Amino acid sequence: MKARFAEVTKELRALLRGDEAFLASFSGEEADFARFNRGRVRQAGTVRQLFLALDLVKGRRHVTAQLTLAGEREQDRARLAATVASLRERLSFVPEDPHMLYSTDPWVSESLGANRLPEAGAALEAIRGRGEGFDLVGIYAAGSMHSGFASSLGHDLWSSRYTFHFDWSLYHEKDKAVKTSYAGFTWDAAGFERKFAWAREQLAVLSKPPVTLSPGHYRAYIAPAALNDFLETLSWGGFSLKAHRTRQTPLLRMIEEGAKLHPGFTLAENTAGGVAPAFQAQGFPRPERVELIGRGAYRDCLISPRSAKEYGVPTNGAQASETPLSYDLAAGTMPQSEVLPRLERGLYINNFWYLNYSDRPRCRVTGMTRFATFWVENGAIQAPVSVMRFDETAYRLLGERLSALTREREFIFDANTYGGRSQVTALLPGLLVEDLTLTL
């Protein structure tokens, strides 16, 4: 794919006229997909797709287009020529963009990840073998993901990664299921076996009559997947410079009142440890690490080029939405083996669901427990818990009521495949909290 992108870049240069310039972002993948139901492969296939985002620039005016490449030179050449002609026609009708900013310092970078993925047949057989006798449902996806950026100024940037993810559930009945995932760069049979064994153990508990709790305050363990759900909600403006400057950030109290989270809470955008490329759509580099919250205090925002231009500050290579692509929350000191004994009595929450803000300026989030949420008594899981709604602020959940973070962390891949596999990842511990508010 890199060679095809180089050809496209060369063809685009030949199409320019006068003082026109172009910015071109490429994304592509070659991936195997399989859908499981009742422990069997029901659909399987391979996807190869190539996309190009093209920005034609002249002075302070620019227009953009998205197109799908066929991978065939003559067909793509005709499509590129037609697209550039269409953009040129539109260019004279658009106003100047006061917040346009793109990298004018060309640089070259190539990052080629190692392909250590298993053969698709071997991975599917391992899943099928473990799923025998269970109603296992899920999606397996594995393969290469490619990103590129080039410009008429001389940028030549490329990144390739080889990953897999298996997003799956062991289903019991009605709304009762154990939902989990297994993802990474190398298939580890022992790691998958541990995941499956824990899911199977929880599935056995789901057959017991559920416990119905009254609204109130409960000790709780929040597993990494549930924490990921919460952090994704927090990222809706939480780390965006634009949201901060317009006072729309849910972390307004941290900015205006100096509110803090737990001193053990250090969250970063860790590009070096993730899957997303170390560059963005306007050709700026993304730093290896941006500390967003350090020891409970707010440290830095994610700054897109448009926000950098608008507010007169340097960009740190954030994407347009100014949301993290590679969440990294520092580990704590509590061993995973001590989670249940230290929880002693309370909730074990694997997943949250349907999260949204109930009071955005106060960073209050509401949502539902779902799938496998359990009642723990005397340091042991006793029974499933009926679906409940929680309503809690980040300042309590991640601050004053946070008791401990686990020493072990889980590498979570976003399982979204709409239009292409997501490059968002998270490396997260679990949390032990003294007080989670259930409202109904």
pLDDT score for 401: 96
Burial pattern 77-92, b for ≥16 Cβ within 10 A else e, equals: eebbeebbeebbeebe
Rounded to the nearest 10 degrees, the angle between the axes of helix 73-91 and helix 2-15 is 40
Residue 427 CB neighbour total at 10 angstroms: 20
Residue 362 CB neighbour total at 10 angstroms: 15
For the chain, what percent of residues have pLDDT higher than 90? Answer: 95
Q: How far apart are CA 225 and CA 205, in angstroms?
A: 19
Residue 300 pLDDT > 90: yes
Residue 176 pLDDT > 90: no
User: Which letter does DSSP use for residue 175 in this model?
Assistant: T
Which amino acid does the sequence have at 357?
Y
Q: Provide the pLDDT confidence category of residue 419 given band limits of 50, 70 and 90.
A: confident
Which amino acid does the sequence have at 336?
Q
Contact 84, 12 (CB under 8 A): yes
Secondary structure (DSSP) of 113-158: ----PPPHHHHHHHHHHHHTTS-EEEEEEEEEEEEEEEETTS-EEE
pLDDT score for 376: 97
Q: Provide the pLDDT confidence category of residue 269 given band limits of 50, 70 and 90.
A: very high
pLDDT score for 387: 93
- Domains in the chain: ranges and CATH: 2-125+140-166 (3.30.2290.10), 216-438 (no CATH)
Q: Which residues pair with 218 in a beta bridge?
A: 436
pLDDT score for 42: 93
Q: Provide the pLDDT confidence category of residue 139 given band limits of 50, 70 and 90.
A: very high
pLDDT score for 173: 87
Tokens representing 38 are: 């009742």
Between 1 and 328, where is the model more confident? 328
Residue 297 pLDDT > 90: yes
Tell the residue number behind the tokens 């017991």, with chain if given: 208
Residue 175 pLDDT > 90: no
Tokens representing 209 are: 């009559």
Q: How far apart are CA 104 and CA 57, in angstroms?
A: 12
Find the mean pLDDT for residues 178-201: 93
Nearest-5° Cα angle at 390, 388 to 391: 155
Q: What is the pLDDT of the chain when averaged over all its residues?
A: 95
Q: Provide the pLDDT confidence category of residue 157 given band limits of 50, 70 and 90.
A: very high
Q: Provide the pLDDT confidence category of residue 193 given band limits of 50, 70 and 90.
A: very high
Between the alpha carbon of residue 293 and those of residues 127, 221, 324, the distances in Å are 38, 22, 12
Give the tens place of pLDDT for each residue, 41-50. 999 999 999 9
Contact 70, 51 (CB under 8 A): no
Q: How far apart are CA 79 and CA 72, in angstroms?
A: 11
Between 120 and 63, where is the model more confident? 63
Secondary structure (DSSP) of 383-423: EEB---EEEEEHHIIIIITEEEEBSS-EEEE----SSS---
pLDDT score for 71: 87
181, burial (CB in 10 Å: exposed 0-12, middle 13-18, buried 19+): buried
Nearest-5° Cα angle at 297, 293 to 299: 50
pLDDT score for 263: 97
pLDDT score for 418: 87
pLDDT score for 209: 93
- Enumerate residues 6+ apart whose C-beta is below 8 A from 3: none
227, burial (CB in 10 Å: exposed 0-12, middle 13-18, buried 19+): buried
Find the mean pLDDT for residues 163-180: 92
User: Which letter does DSSP use for residue 210 in this model?
Assistant: P
Q: Provide the pLDDT confidence category of residue 10 given band limits of 50, 70 and 90.
A: very high
Alpha helices in 174-276 (DSSP H): 189-206, 224-234, 241-245, 252-256
Q: How far apart are CA 17 and CA 43, in angstroms?
A: 48
The alpha carbons of the chain give a radius of gyration, in whole angstroms, of: 24
Q: How far apart are CA 188 and CA 205, in angstroms?
A: 27
Distance of CA 374 to the CA centre of its chain: 26
Residue 216 pLDDT > 90: yes
Q: Provide the pLDDT confidence category of residue 174 given band limits of 50, 70 and 90.
A: confident
Find the mean pLDDT for residues 75-94: 95
Closest CA to 197 of 134, 245, 251, 252: 134
pLDDT score for 440: 87
Residue count of the chain:
440
pLDDT score for 370: 82
pLDDT score for 25: 97
